[in-house]
Amino acid sequence: MFRYLILVVFIAQAAFGQESLKTVTAEPGDGILSLLRKQGVNPYEIFDEFVALNNHDLRDSVHLIAGKTYVIPKFELETVPIVDSIQKQSTDVKKLESASYAIFGEKHKTVITKSERLKGNVYYLVSGHGGPDPGAMGVYAGKTISEDEYAYDITLRLAKELLAHGAMVYIIIQDENDGIRDERVLEIDHDEVAYPNKTIPLNQVARLKQRVEIVNDLYKSNKGKYQRLIVTHVDSRSVGQNIDVFFYYHENSKNGKKLAESIHTTFDAKYKKYQPNRSYAGTFEDRTSLYLVKKTHPAMTFIEIGNIMNAKDQVRIVDPDNRQALAKWISEGVLLDFEEE
């Protein structure tokens, strides 16, 4: 089991000569995966390199912009002979530091360093439900989907974003078999465990108490460090109720409120930029009655991603690009929260 997620399995540096790499112009409807497939390459092998090389021309680091020209990486990160060859061909060299984390799955295990903006900070990430409790249930394309699978996928994507900025990350609910998944329908299983390798109780109170104890024990062990907790859930309401992402915090926590407000502010700005004809109705408010909000020690925010029963909200969670965008927006809110201290 992943006793310390902060363990770096390997550190690699890669050099890419821009002159040696192929470019392609995105067409309407193209996504990163489909664009790379059309170039005859395995999109998962070079996805992270593609994002790193083209970051300035991607919307929220995950969406292509039609008409933009993108660089297609050719080379694996750790292939030293190829790196040497590229360096001889061009002086335009971009070095990428990376680390590998098995918990993200084989296709997404590589985390490319973006910055050290969160270096020294500690983040505890809790995805809702898991183990014997799948959480809220819905039906999409004739198949049953569950809250815990989508909350977990978004949490993993968020963890990867935070690690890329130098943070220390603890994933409290873990599934060693799933990793980050790019399917729309995420298969339901019940093999999740609580950090580091604890069986998740069936009883709801016992389950919540277990998570509180894990987080609070880790909080004590990291005393003196900048620490925050982010809990991710998917709501369940009437089929006709379309809701935006919203946030809770402890009424007596100034830092918790600031974290929630920073992420909320980020979402509001993203909606204004990318959906100018649609106002953002998500809120941030105190909800101390929630067990994890009330009992955990780090400043925290509790996030509800959407209504798993509603068709419009389902699009937000079943589309893997949207899940990545959600994680990216949350991470940008986390950066905003810390850097406005």
Whether residues 121 and 248 share a domain: the answer is: yes
Q: Tell me the sheet residues that pair with 110.
A: 100
Would you call 198 exposed, middle or buried from its count of C-beta atoms within 10 A (0-12, 13-18, 19+)? middle
Spatial separation of the C-alpha atoms in residues 254 and 290, rounded to whole Å: 17
The residue segments making up the domain with residue 49 are 11-99
Spatial separation of the C-alpha atoms in residues 154 and 133, rounded to whole Å: 18
107 occurs within a structural domain: no
Whether residues 25 and 149 share a domain: the answer is: no
Strands 173-174, 137-140: pairing kind? unpaired
Whether residues 184 and 295 share a domain: the answer is: yes
Helices (H), 298-319: 311-318
C-alpha of 164 from chain center: 11
Model pTM?
0.82
Nearest Cα to Cα of residue 21 among 50, 55, 59? 50
Domain termination site, one of 49, 70, 99 = 99
Spatial separation of the C-alpha atoms in residues 252 and 255, rounded to whole Å: 9
What is the full per-residue pLDDT of the chain (341 aa) written as tens digits?
Answer: 444 444 333 333 344 444 457 899 999 989 888 888 888 887 777 887 888 888 888 886 678 999 999 999 875 443 333 334 334 444 444 567 889 999 999 999 999 999 999 999 999 999 999 999 999 999 999 999 999 999 999 999 999 999 999 999 999 999 999 999 999 999 999 999 999 999 999 999 999 999 999 999 999 999 999 999 999 999 998 888 888 999 999 999 999 999 999 999 999 998 888 788 888 999 999 999 999 999 999 999 999 999 999 999 998 899 998 999 999 999 999 999 999 86
Whether residues 178 and 326 share a domain: the answer is: yes
Q: 20: alpha, beta or left, given left = phi > 0 and alpha = psi -120 to 50?
A: alpha
- Domains of the chain: total: 2
Whether residues 309 and 160 share a domain: the answer is: yes
Whether residues 88 and 168 share a domain: the answer is: no
Whether residues 77 and 169 share a domain: the answer is: no
Domain termination site, one of 99, 125, 148 = 99
